[in-house]
Structure formats: structure tokens, C-alpha cells
Amino acid sequence: MATPEGEVASAKACNKTKTPLVLSSWATTSNELIGAAAPDSVKVYQVYTSKIHTVNADIWARVKSSGFSALALTTDTQLLGKRLNDARNRFSLPYPWRMENMAKYMEQGEETNVKSKGGSGLAEFVKTHKNNEIGWDVVPYMKKVSGLPVWAKGVMCADDARIAIENGVDGIYVSNHGARQLDTTPATIEVLKEIADEVERVCKEKGIKKVPVWFDGGIRSGSDVLKALALGADLVWIGRGVLWALACEGQTGVENINRILNEELKEAMLRCGCYSLEDIKKKKILYEKDELLFARM
């Protein structure tokens, strides 16, 4: 909805700037097109499971053959958050966009272009097609069927991080779904350190290799990236800035925002005396005062 090329514009920009990308199950572009547009980028597929097991297995096979290297299981959307604006506006995908990854599985005549029947078209689609009854036992099943590592996306507390690791996830993805799932949910930056510390503790207890931690939420500058890395993230994702960039300049806009964030990160690192990503964690460059985070420069 931001630019005619949609996710392809983001994929091409990521491929050009050597940046990883995540594609949603509900994207308006197929995973095959994204794989072709970004052959050199690390690609992750964000999973919303279908009620039909054969559909899930086929999608994951397609994703793997398209060059995606991991699945990110959405763990915080057992129930879609009540998005009042979508309901008031009777949200529908504008023509000709539709959920391309789901299109081949729909019954003849059934729409995947998410049309409102009086409320939110997305909420209606989710109620009809999404499997809301999964538990942690789906993780080993996904790994076996897909042959890909599985990350838990939407982890917001240390307890859930521990449970996820105990159930075989390959990585923890700290995210609050853009704060659209639960009103007054904490900011992800507030819970990141306790989760990262718990992940490290669990790995030591179990004698397993380090489980990586990903992070998103509210990243607007390179110094924000620095803070997230300092608090325990191994990789930082961005979302809102990409939408703004797409609406402004399409693919070029995304290339620019990737470049700007990297330049800002490097400058912030230098001002903090950090000359590598390892330095950010080792030098303990953040301190807290009145619930705000400051960098020692």
C-alpha cells in the first residue's frame, strides 16, 4: 500500500545494500518473487499458521526452495488485536493487491484480497483461515516438516524466552507487534535486557550453544540500533522507517534508509569508543537514569 512495487522494492533495496529481510505470510508479494529479487540477502519468513496442515507444509517447502533460511513463528497473535481504526474504516486491501502466498490454496471463488464485510477485512480473514490453537509443541513439528530453523517472534518476557528454548526454538525474536496486539504493552527496549540475560542463563544451564536474540520496535536512528545491541540484541530489524521510505522514494528510499542507519550507527559507535560490534557489548556503554537510557560518550 506504500508503493506499487511493494515488498519487491524492499527486497531489491536489501539485496543492493546487503541487508537481511523478513517477509510476512500475509505479504502482497509471493515468496518466489522475493527470492528472485533478493538472491544475495538473508531471508526470513514470518509464519502465521493455516488451519490446514498441508497448506503449511507446502508453503514452507516453497519458502525453502525460494532461498529463505529461517522461519519466524508469530507467537503473539493467537488472537488478532482489536484494531479499532481498521474496523471503523472497514479496512480492505486496495485492488489489485491480495495475499499472494495464500492465493493458490483458496477454494474457487474465495477471495484473498481481504475485503471488508462490515468491519476489518483483515480480522475477518484471520478468523476464517488462521490457526489460533497452536502451542509450543508446533516448534519441533515446523522444524521437521520445513527443514529450516525456527525463531519465536513476539517474545516479551524472560519466562517465555526460557519456555521457547526448552521447546527447541533456534532463536528468540523480541517484538511487541508494533504495540498493536495489546494496549499498554511495554516497549521492547524495556524488556530486551532481561530477555537477553535469561537466554544466556538458559544456554549455560543446558550446556547448549548460544541462542541468538533478534529485536525490533521503535528503531528510528543508528543510536537506537546501538542501544539495542548494547542491551543484548544480536540483530536489529526495522519496519516503520521502511514504510516511510517506500512511500517517499520506493526502492531508492529503502536503500537510503539502510545507508543512513548504518552511517549513524558507525558514528555513534565511534563516539562511544566502540570499534567493533563486540565492543558495544563488552564496554557496557549504557547506563540508566530516571528510566531513560544514555550512552557513555
Read off the pLDDT of residues 241-257 as tens digits, 9 standing for 90 and up. 999 999 999 999 999 99
CA dist., res. 55 & res. 103, Å (int): 11
The model's pTM: 0.92
What is the crossing angle of helices 138-146 and 53-65, to 10°?
Answer: 50
pLDDT at 285: 81
Q: Where are any strands of DSSP class E within the chain?
A: 21-24, 43-47, 70-74, 150-155, 171-174, 213-215, 235-236, 286-289, 292-295
Mean pLDDT of 103-130: 79
Rounded to whole angstroms, the Cα distance separating 277 from 225 reads 11
CA distance 224 to 265: 8
Cell 549513524 found at: 264
CA distance 214 to 197: 13
Per-residue confidence band for 292, with pLDDT thresholds at 50, 70 and 90? low
CA distances from 8 to 98, 111, 120, 133, 251 (A): 14, 22, 26, 32, 8
- Please tell me which residue in 122, 177, 181, 268 is annotated as part of the active site: 177
Place of cell 508446533: 138
Q: Could you give phi then psi for residue 42, rounded to 5 degrees?
A: -70, 125
Q: SS3 breakdown of the chain: % helix, strand, coil, rounded to 5?
A: 45, 15, 40
* Residue 129 a catalytic site member: no
Q: Per-residue pLDDT tens for 184-224? A: 889 999 999 999 999 999 999 999 999 999 999 999 999 99
In this prediction, residues 126-147 reach a mean pLDDT of 91
User: In which band, very low, low, confident or very high, does the pLDDT at 265 lie, cut at 50, 70 and 90?
Assistant: very high
Return d(Cα 227, Cα 277) in angstroms, integer.
12
Q: Measured between alpha carbons, how far is 29 from 8 in angstroms, rounded to an integer?
A: 7
Tell me how far apart the alpha carbons of residues 225 and 265 are, in angstroms, rounded to a whole number.
Answer: 7
* Closest residue by Cα to residue 257 from 17, 64, 8: 17
Share of the chain above pLDDT 90, in %: 70
Q: How high is the pLDDT of residue 81?
A: 80
CA distance 174 to 223: 18
- Chain mean pLDDT for the chain: 91
CA atoms within a 13 Å half-sphere pointing along the CA-CB vector of 173:
26
Q: What pLDDT score does 240 carry?
A: 93
Quick check: 62 and 32 in contact, CB under 8 A? Answer: yes
Of 83-97, 136-150, 159-173, 228-242, where does mean pLDDT reach its minimum? 83-97
pLDDT at 114: 84
Residue 289 in this model has a pLDDT that exceeds 70: no
Residues 293, 280: Cα–Cα separation, whole Å: 14
pLDDT in the model for residue 295 = 65
pLDDT of residue 71: 98
Residue 109 has pLDDT above 60, yes or no: no
